[in-house]
Amino acid sequence: MTIEAFYPWSLIVMLLAVVWWFYRNNMSASKALPALAFWAASLLYAMVVFFTEFSTYYKLLLMIPRDFMAFVVVGLLANNLKSSRGFLALAIGVGVGSYLLYSNFVGEVYQKYVAPSNKPSTVQNEKPSGLATHGELLVDLKNVDNIAGLQTLLKAYGVELTPAFPTVADKGITELDDYFLINIPEAQLGSITAIEKLLRQSGLIDWVERNETMSLSPIETTPNNGTSGKGDYGIDDPNIDKVWSFDKLNVAGYFKYIKEKGVTPKKRAKIAILDTGVDAEHEDLKGNYVSTRKGYDKDKQSHGTHCAGIAASVTNNGVGIASLALNNQFVEVTSIKVLSDQGWGTQDGIINGIILAADKGADVISMSLGGPSSDASQRAYSEAIRYANSKGAIVVVAAGNESQNATKVVPASCEGVITVSAINANLEKASFSNFVQDLKMGIAAPGEDILSTIPKNKYASYSGTSMATPFVAGLLGVMKALKPEMTTQEAYKLLHKTGKDTKNPVETGKLVNPLGVMKAMQKQK
């Protein structure tokens, strides 16, 4: 039971104590007991009012004046009726009436007295763009028991409230189950700023933010027809010579080291691709693919399948390309569809995807998506990332393709993620890549003209930080396979320490070095 639940009872007992006091006074009986009850109820009332989570404005200008008026009215009635037969009816009426009035006191007071701020303004602001149509706002309630009050508060706007993240498995380690979606009718979208202001002043919430849409922005290129010089990889994937990143990053030496040292994983790490879906039947993926839901096992857009191939295509299977997982003992890959077939998604949908991935045991969560944010901080994203981290997952995200500071993009700028910039074959920052110099955990990986899987057993070359991100996710998967307890901070420290300089090291961060990582991890054993 919350502290607010005691409020109506403390006031009702105080009012009944006043009635009792007048009754005992009329009977010329001792008033000690009713006086004690009155002062005890008054003390409880004062404590409850002080400790409730409602705003000072609400308490001083609404709650206390209204309650004082009720106290005066009840006192006058009790004094006038103390010798009449209506006194007992008064006592019963005070009890029943007060309960009916105050048991839903939050919503009643706001709806009746907070005017005109809780009524739709006749002056409409410009309707916002880039928000989810099924719920434009995400709100974190102080206590879900206050949902009725919030509904009454916003009644004039005709909004609908639904739980934002109802599938959270471990509610004790997160506040995500306190989040609700607020769906604003089309006619009221111009009042969204007023609604946000009303929510912040109410004292009912901890946070409100706009539920923005996110998208992917790959830069497609023509198929890679050149070769980078076939290295001695010791594998039979026919298109490996077209994967320039393997040549530049000495993946041949990395594979050779794993074989010579007999490196064996402690577990098969799970990499979750949060994207447009993945073609589960692709010839170069199905050996490493595990299904989370059947609806996620197809990809009409191709972006998710491309990312999955970079992270976890089957190595040494005689078809297509290869990943950093030398054999199928290291990693498995799964899909969680958070973007539409057109490449769009919403903040709440992506967060629900993070939650699902974490609850399904993902070791690495890879997100090649994002968008600009109008909020100073993305609390819901950060809470979801903390939830995933607490369940053992490392979250890796794309820096974005706007050639700007990645601090302006979410989830790239969120706390607790490893953010990936893109470099080209000359080890320069790709022209489109955002820079990560102002982020705590920025790293670089190949992201231009990257050959990988697309639906229907086909292959294509795409460019973008979207492609660089699963490269890092694949390496993190191998790292988690060798050391399952590895945290995000430990993983980033190792990537940074063993990384190589690019030609723009400040903007890109260190370039991942698979062989360096593997040698460092073997030394730690």
Give the catalytic positions in this structure.
Answer: 275, 303, 466
What tokens appear for 178 in the block? 């306190």
Neighbours of 117 (CB within 10 A): 11
Residues 6+ apart with CB under 8 A from 309: 282, 284, 285, 320, 321, 323, 452, 453, 454, 459
Residues 6+ apart with CB under 8 A from 289: 278, 280, 282, 297, 308, 312, 332, 333, 334, 335
Neighbours of 68 (CB within 10 A): 10
Task: Report how far residue 67's alpha carbon sits from residue 69's, in angstroms, rounded to the nearest whole number.
Answer: 5
Using DSSP's 3-state secondary structure scheme, residue 345 falls into strand
Angle between helices 488-498 and 465-482 (to 10 degrees): 110
What tokens appear for 486 in the block? 């590895």
Closest CA to 310 of 433, 472, 188: 472
Task: Report how far residue 493's alpha carbon sits from residue 131's, in angstroms, rounded to the nearest whole number.
Answer: 36
Closest CA to 321 of 336, 331, 311: 311
User: Tell me, what amino acid is at 15?
Assistant: L
- Asked if 307 contacts 184 with a C-beta cutoff of 8 angstroms, the reply is no
